[in-house]
Amino acid sequence: MVSLNPRFTPIPAAPARLPADHAPGTRFPGLDPAWSRLVTAKTDDGARTFHVLDTGPALAARGITPTGTILAVHGNPTWSYLWRKVIAGSLERAQNGAAWRVIAPDQLDMGFSDRLSHPVPPAADAVSYRRLATRLGDLDALMDALDVDTSSRLVTLGHDWGGIISLGWAVRQRGQVDAAITLNTAVDHPEADQVPAALRAAMAPAVLPAATVTSEGFLKVTLGLAEQTLPDEVRDAYRAPYTSRNGRGGIGGFVADIPAENSHVSRAALTGVSSGLREWNKPTLLLWGPKDPVFQDRYLADLQSRVPHADLHRFEGAGHMLAEDRDLSTPIFTWLDDHFGAGREVRAALRSPAPARKVLGLHEQMTELARSERRMSPAVVDMTAEPEAWSSAEDAATGDRALSWAELHAQVDALAVGLTHTGVRHGDRVSLLVQPGASLTVILYACMRIGAVAVVADAGLGVRGMTRAVRAARPDWVIGELPGLTLARSLGWPGKRISVQNLSSRRARLLGTVTSVEALLRRHEGATPDQLPTPDAEDPVAILFTSGSTGPAKGVMYTHGRLGALVALLVEHLNISPGASLIAGFAPFALLGPAIGATSVTPDMSVTRPSTLTAQAVADAALAGDATMFFGSPAALRNVVATAGELSALQHRGLSDIKLVLSAGAPVHPDLLDAVQEIFPNAEIHTPYGMTEGLLQADIERRQVIEAIATGQSGVCVGTPVAGVRFALAPLDGLGRPSEELLDPSQAVGRLGEIVVSAAHLKAGYDRLWQTERDSSRDTLDGLIWHRTNDIGHFDAENRLWIEGRLQHVLTTPAGPLGPGTVETPVDALEEVARSAAVPVGPQGTQAVVVIVEPGSDRSLRTGRSPVAETSFAARVREAAGSVPVAAVLVLEELPTDVRHNSKIDRTRLARWAEKVLAGEKVGAP
């Protein structure tokens, strides 16, 4: 072949070979040479030899008949080595479960398959380069040559360009293919959009040969996209087929075949794949690394629009090299088992329609309230402004400070109509970047009225956490105040933007807003959305993000029916009656106020730091809203107690009208409850147990807490289940792993285990986290669906639940597993201690217990400047711990906590710090 450019030498063809025949000394960690074989197939342009990893012979040698076959296709510039862990997982599972044959070929011109002759530099129109359409034909030829049993199940699996090819082949062979799985890929690229910058540089004609063929640049950059640096031997294994210029011709050819423009020779084939997927109705699983700089979330959104029934799991923190970043065997084979194996019956039960539930009739409820005798009572009072801006409850002033029920009803109606005219539709996702108060309430309930899905990721997650949450939910719209919109614009958050307030034309242009809530309310004043259908019970209503205290925040999906069940439970359990008024020191309850028919008062505090709530702010909110209830996190309660000495006589009188105090989000110490009782002398003080996945599960009153403590049990007693809630226990083994068997509390008195719950008001699922949802809702018992809470604890003989920590914080000592609460409860009772954390150090099963103490005010418990506790104090801690041997006692001025509640201690972080301290390292605060 004659070179098109005298500076370059054409690349000659070369035959396929086995990895084991590569240069002596090259290792391929995790790859069994027995999996490798060479297969010759009749492709569209003649006989070609493929290197293939194939578990068929290994299964046959064991006498195992496969359940089905997985065709796994790699992308560029990897090779079949990418699938070694999936292959190993398939063989491991074949011993005890469904056996899947895995066939992972090296595509032609890649890996150890035949090399083709072609010119250098690569040219998109060069006949010798493998094009997309030709590669689809290659798979046809290979599968014919392998004589795959098409009577059994056939599943495709792909990544990168292998994702496009495998999905295209599945569509092409839809009569034989039963399911499709893909990692990060793309099946369409609008010509008007730029190719991602990470790829654009390599595609430039002047750069392409140097980046992909004559150097290892493209290869090295790709391998560098792993979350953690790949071990040298693994990186060398990926490089092995591509160490010479002759070996890298296919890398350049693949890049040259990217059809970014409509005129590209492979564009028609790509369009065929992308359009064919709209007709694809077989089971599909998308596994995604969101940190991929090439296959970004916009490509995921496109895939979801084409295959809306696909299951999706986003692995936060992972990127392009997802198969290296995460264990994919578990989700892949679990998913296959759910669809084609023994898990079918269980998953069918979990997917069956839920029983009819009360639907939150928001429009009807507000209409009734607006016409009632309470029509002049405020539904929302915003106390976050300066005191002189407040309006009293009796005044029921309009504007953002307070709204009457009638005004709230009218504004929700008007905004629902306005949003509809703007283009917000049923099912659209709407991210709310608005501080709790009147405006947020109107916006939220307007979205609910038209069937839009509110995405709530509060500022307590921090900028990084909010960015991750918003990108995970991928909203269609963003409604925000100026700070939120500025953040959304600067960080490139998805969604069309609507401001809360009117903006100048210049600012609106800079922020990219299409309208404002203020303008929509004015334009559609008096309008009613009666023509809009009421959302169904199973329609999604909200995605609420967890606190992120034990990992990346998860989006919890609620439906109208489940939210309605929660509202009904709150009204019944809290005995909400006409005239009730709620001070919400915790954002979710501020939003639920109108739904339960209570005036909702937002006190003056920082939403991102509940510990900023003062006794004066609570008292002022109580006076302004004639409050009868108060909800605050334990951190908020601590600061309320700490600032109570500055209350005036009038403020004391306002707090004396509070009849119910609720605190949840973390355990509340009995001493704190006693102090709170003095501030709210006429209130019942309750510490309900719940979570974002189910906001109310159990409840207990202060006096009952005192009675329970007298029994001397470990952990914090959170009471008995509320109406409609059932608990079960999954006992822990010696390594802290919960059993698959669920026990009724009466069968497990005193046993430590994971708490499992079933209720009508639980989440509908985790958003775009298929594996997480599957793990948390994998149980059926008595015809019910159960949620594994990740909390550990035990039940006593009175059916009371005692929480002892989180599953990941279990201490696996030689004597057996312990919950942190076993040690922390008695240590926290010491006079010198504000709070404590018991953390494990050492290998699982033989872990030592280290207690880290936050001293009370004006206490010095250290030995000099060391974090090691003073000897006599350490002895008191060990005495308090009783039979639990404490290896060390350390002191920190303040224990690190989560940002939302300011209450959940970060034990994982503390364990890492304690290990370094005990190893003799000089470290600062964790």
The torsion defined by the Cα of 487, 491, 494 and 497, in degrees rounded to 10, comes to: 30
Q: Is the dihedral of CA 917, 920, 921, 923 positive or negative?
A: positive
- In this prediction, residue 659 has a pLDDT band, given cuts at 50, 70 and 90, of very high
Is residue 350 scored above 70 in pLDDT?
no
Express each pLDDT in 529-554 by its tens digit: 888 888 888 999 999 998 776 678 89
Q: Look up residue 609 and give its amino acid.
A: R
Report the distance separating Cα 538 and Cα 360, nearest Å: 11
Residues 6+ apart with CB under 8 A from 914: 839, 841, 850, 852, 888, 890
pLDDT, averaged across the chain: 87
Task: List the structure tokens of 461.
Answer: 């997650």
Work out the pLDDT band at 647, boundaries 50, 70, 90.
Answer: very high
**What is the pTM for the complete model shown?**
0.88
- DSSP calls for 88-135: HHHHHHTTTS--EEEEEEPPTTSTTSPBPPB-SS--TT-TTSPPHHHH
> At CB < 8 A and 24+ separation, what contacts does 393-399 make?
393/581, 393/599, 393/624, 393/625, 393/626, 399/438
In the three-class reduction of DSSP (H, G, I as helix; E, B as strand; rest coil), residue 409 is classed as: helix
- Please tell me the predicted confidence (pLDDT) of residue 401: 56
Element at 304 (helix H, strand E): helix 297-306
Token code pair at residue 140: 């046809």
pLDDT digits over 874-889, tens only? 999 999 999 999 999 9
pLDDT digits (tens, 9 = 90+) for 302-326: 999 999 999 999 999 999 999 999 9
- What is the token pair recorded at 336? 């296959």
Cα dihedral 76/82/86/92 (nearest 10): 160
Share of the chain above pLDDT 90, in %: 62
Angle at the Cα of 317 from the Cα atoms of 311 and 318, rounded to 5 degrees = 65
Stretch (H or E) spanning 313: strand 311-314
Return d(Cα 580, Cα 440) in angstroms, integer: 21
In this prediction, residue 176 carries a pLDDT of 94
Pair 716, 803: CB distance under 8 Å? yes
Please say whether the beta carbons of 617 and 582 come within 8 A.
no
| Strand ranges across the sheet with 599-602 | 402-404, 378-382, 599-602, 581-584, 629-631, 660-662, 684-686
Phi-psi region of 657 (alpha: psi -120 to 50; beta: other; left: phi over 0): alpha
Q: CB-based burial of residue 378 (10 Å sphere; 0-12 exposed, 13-18 middle, 19+ buried)?
A: buried
Spatial CB neighbours of 873, under 8 Å, sequence gap ≥ 6: 832, 861, 889
Residue ranges of the chain assigned to CATH 3.40.50.1820: 19-342
Q: What pLDDT band is residue 391 in, cutting at 50, 70 and 90? A: very low
Candidates 667, 817, 666; CA nearest to 738 is 817
Sequence-separated (6 or more) residues with CB below 8 Å from residue 522: none
The least confident of 236-245, 614-623, 629-638, 885-894 is 629-638
Residue 661 and residue 683 in contact, taking contact as beta carbons nearer than 8 Å = yes
CATH C-level class of 403-535: alpha beta
Neighbours of 522 (CB within 10 A): 12
Residues 809, 752: Cα–Cα separation, whole Å: 13
Cα angle 811, 667, 676 (rounded to 5 degrees) comes to 150
Location of each CATH 3.30.300.30 domain in the chain? 811-926
Q: CA angle at residue 817 from 816 to 820, to 5 degrees?
A: 135
Q: What is the pLDDT of residue 60?
A: 92
Phi, psi of 147 (to 5 degrees): 55, 55
CA distance 603 to 583: 7
| Confidence check: pLDDT of 579 > 90 | no
**Cα(31)–Cα(104) distance, rounded to whole angstroms?**
12
pLDDT higher than threshold 80 for residue 380 = no
855-860: Cβ within 8 A, 24+ apart: 855/891, 855/893, 856/831, 856/832, 859/832
- Of 105-109, 709-713, 794-798, the poorest mean pLDDT is in 709-713
| pLDDT over 50 at 376, yes or no | no
Separation between Cα atoms, residue 313 and residue 322, nearest integer Å = 12
Contact 630, 658 (CB under 8 A): yes
State the amino acid at position 6 in one-letter form: P
DSSP 24-37: TT---TT--GGGEE
pLDDT of residue 124: 45
> Residue 312's beta-bridge partner residues?
286
- For 115-216, where are the alpha helices, taking DSSP H only? 132-146, 161-172, 197-203, 208-212
Look at residue 41 and tell me whether its pLDDT is greater than 60.
yes
Helix (H) or strand (E) holding 587: helix 587-592
- Per the DSSP assignment, residues forming a β-bridge with 719 are 801
Q: Which CATH superfamily is domain 19-342 in?
A: Alpha/Beta hydrolase fold, catalytic domain (3.40.50.1820)
Q: Is 262 exposed, middle or buried (0-12, 13-18, 19+ CB in 10 A)?
A: exposed
Question: Rounded to the nearest 5°, which phi and psi values hold at 415?
Answer: -70, -35
Q: What is the dihedral of CA 201, 207, 208, 213, to 10 degrees?
A: -120
Predicted pLDDT of residue 343: 66
Task: Report which of 273, 339, 309 is spatially closest to residue 100, judged by C-alpha positions.
Answer: 339
Cα–Cα distance for residue pair 752/736, rounded to 1 Å: 9
Residue 97 predicted with pLDDT over 90? no
452 vs 45, more confident: 452
* DSSP class per residue in 540-580: EEEEEE---TTSS--EEEEEHHHHHHHHHHHHHHTT--TT-
The tokens for 481 are 């105040």
> Residue 364: pLDDT band by 50, 70, 90 thresholds?
low
753: three-class secondary structure by DSSP: strand
What's the rounded Cα separation, in Å, for the pair 522 and 361?
A: 25
- Per the CB < 8 A criterion, the answer to whether 274 and 306 are in contact is yes
pLDDT for res 901: 47
Query: Residue 853 and residue 847: Cα distance in Å, rounded?
Result: 19
CATH of 811-926, one of 3.30.300.30, 3.10.580.10, 3.40.50.170, 3.90.1150.110: 3.30.300.30
Asked if residue 814 has a cis previous peptide bond (ω within 30° of 0), the answer is: no
DSSP code for 357? -
C-alpha–C-alpha distance, residues 918 and 474, integer Å: 44
The single-letter DSSP state of residue 156 is: E
Q: Does residue 144 have a pLDDT over 50?
A: yes
Q: How far is residue 210 from each of residues 77, 122, 245, 248, measured CA to CA in Å?
A: 15, 10, 10, 11
- Residue 813 in tokens: 């000592």
Where does the chain hold its CATH 3.40.50.980 domain(s)?
403-535
Identify the band that residue 126 occupies on the pLDDT scale cut at 50, 70 and 90.
very low
